[in-house]
Structure 1
Amino acid sequence: MDFHCHLDLYPGAKAVSEEAALRNEFTWLVTTSPRAYDATSRVLGHVPRVLITPGLHPELVETRAGELPQLLQQMEHAVAVGEVGLDGSYRFKSSLAIQRQVFDAVVSRSRELGGRTLSIHSRGAAKEVLSILLKNPGFGTAVLHWFTGTVGEMETAYKLGCWFSIGPAAFNSAAGRTLVAKIPRDRVVPESDGPFAEDNGVPVQPWSMERTAQLFAPQWECAEPEAFEILRTNGRRLLRTMGRLL
């Protein structure tokens, strides 16, 4: 399983997507803009066990905010939305005000539609992401992708019902390993964030769940097969909330 992957942006995307369909029970292909969603749906929409969702990546909001009405319309027929969220890192802080407007509109629209599952980017802005979620009860289910907030923010997110999608790249630093070890294991699902995320200098592939389990095992003080089963069980639970029974 892979709950956050940019399949459309791998070199040879079609072949990689078809390989993911063979290897994975489920792959969530998050897109970076409404236009990308339309284009990717045309090219890869036939691939089985791959969910393609509309999104508007916070790193692109400054130049793509005009596509927001298109995204809100696409959401009507989508069970899930992603990638969306906020990025408060130094490089994108200047666009944070417009990012807030866009993300607030997305979460509000999700609430109006009766709830959607959202794959959320929250780098450097976890507190603000949670604030927007909290003021929109009934928005659906949040999956916080590659969470890097504080332990306190993680606890708030857990109480809010959030899930956490974690991949091999989250273990690249000591701080990352310490944080992911504290995430309640009943809300963790696997992701790759490929092709952007890397493991040992190599882009993470969509079928990296075994590697993620290998890295979680010592953190959870269990054997690798047990860690793998925890991730798979969690993934299936999350899919049931999305209405995608396996």
Structure 2
Amino acid sequence: MTYIDTHVHIDFYPNPYDLALEYEKNKIYTMFVTNLPELYEKHLSTFSNFKYIRLCLGYHPQVSNEYVLNKKLFEKYIATTRYVGEVGLDFFSGISDREKSIQIEAFRYVTSPSFNKGRIYTIHSKGAEREVLDILLENEVKHAIFHWYTGKISVLKQAVEKGYYFSINPKMLMTKNGLNIIAHIPLRQMLFETDGPFARINRKPIYPKDIPNFYTSLSKEVDEFEKVCFSNFRRLLIEKDL
């Protein structure tokens, strides 16, 4: 069996290097997302030589109030990776117009045509799905994965029409909205993520050893889920260079 995990925060686990070795040992193709260019820089030398793990250059919208996007670092390291994430927008309840503007400016920047060719983005879009899609289209981003999508089905359908992918996780099986969203994602555009350690099951973070069981659970909703995800991921890797 071949598994993938297109969105996991390895550096938020207690022993990141040991966790990475577990992904490697189990041959799970993994996108290790980061929250800041500074964190990408910190982890690059340690995690750049893994066969199955790809370190992603990120700027999480939830940290935008505390950390200004370091454009100099982003520009320095973008050439070292084909994977960008976690990036996007998060219009949480009570967010100010100023905070929205900061997030939008940063997201426009990291997805700009100067950077997006030949790269895969894993994207946060909570509360701002429409705005995220508009910016992706504005910048002509070809290869994006909507991570843990929770928005309107109408926007999902528009993103599907543009060829974007959606990564689903076990927590989505536990809500009506999650199941409804899974039902509306075409098989050809479906991927798997854990969003570990934040997407917890029974209050426990997900580890690589748990992933086969979650694939089995998702296969009850999606026939041959493992084959579907691996086929889609392989196609996406090929498409990014077209």
TM-score, normalised by the number of residues in structure 2: 0.90
Structure-2 separation of matches of 1:177 and 1:93 = 31
Say if 2:145 is the partner of 1:102: no
Corresponding letter in the other structure for 1:162: Y
Corresponding letter in the other structure for 1:194: G
Report 1:18-97 matches (<5 A). Answer: 18-90=21-93, 95-97=99-101
Change (3 A) 1:98 1:122: same
Change (3 A) 1:73 1:121: same
Deviation at 1:112, TM superposition (A): 5.2
Contact 1:5 1:206 in 2 (8 A): no
Higher RCO by CA contacts (8 Å cutoff, separation 6 or greater): 2
Contact 1:72 1:106 in 2 (8 A): no
Corresponding letter in the other structure for 1:76: A
Corresponding letter in the other structure for 2:109: A
SS at match of 1:140: coil
Q: Percent identity?
A: 30
Match of 2:212 among 181, 196, 210: 210
Deviation sequence 1:87-107 (CA, Å, 0-9, x none): 012165562210000001111
- Is there any run of 5+ residues in structure 1 with no aligned partner, and where? none
Contact 1:80 1:242 in 2 (8 A): no
Structure-2 separation of matches of 1:113 and 1:182 = 27
Structure-1 separation of matches of 2:192 and 2:156 = 17
Contact 1:181 1:216 in 2 (8 A): no
RMSD of the alignment, in Å? Answer: 1.9
Contact 2:170 2:218 in 1 (8 A): no
Deviation sequence 1:42-75 (CA, Å, 0-9, x none): 3333333110011100001122224133213322
Say if 2:235 is the partner of 1:232: no
The worse-fitting range, judged by mean Cα deviation, of 11-20 and 162-171 is: 162-171
Corresponding letter in the other structure for 1:101: E
Corresponding letter in the other structure for 1:33: L
Corresponding letter in the other structure for 1:235: F
Contact 2:35 2:60 in 1 (8 A): yes
Change (3 A) 1:30 1:91: farther
Structure-2 separation of matches of 1:193 and 1:93 = 27
Deviation at 1:216, TM superposition (A): 2.5
Structure-2 separation of matches of 1:140 and 1:76 = 18
Corresponding letter in the other structure for 1:188: M
Change (3 A) 1:236 1:209: farther
Corresponding letter in the other structure for 1:178: N
Corresponding letter in the other structure for 1:105: Y
Corresponding letter in the other structure for 1:180: I
SS at match of 2:146: strand
Structure-2 separation of matches of 1:31 and 1:206 = 18
Deviation at 1:114, TM superposition (A): 2.8
Contact 2:86 2:122 in 1 (8 A): yes
Deviation sequence 1:3-36 (CA, Å, 0-9, x none): 1111121111111110111113411101100110
Match of 2:152 among 143, 150, 153: 150
Contact 1:169 1:197 in 2 (8 A): yes
Corresponding letter in the other structure for 2:86: E
SS at match of 2:66: helix
Corresponding letter in the other structure for 1:54: L
Report 1:159-198 matches (<5 A). Answer: 159-198=161-200
Paired residues in the alignment total 237
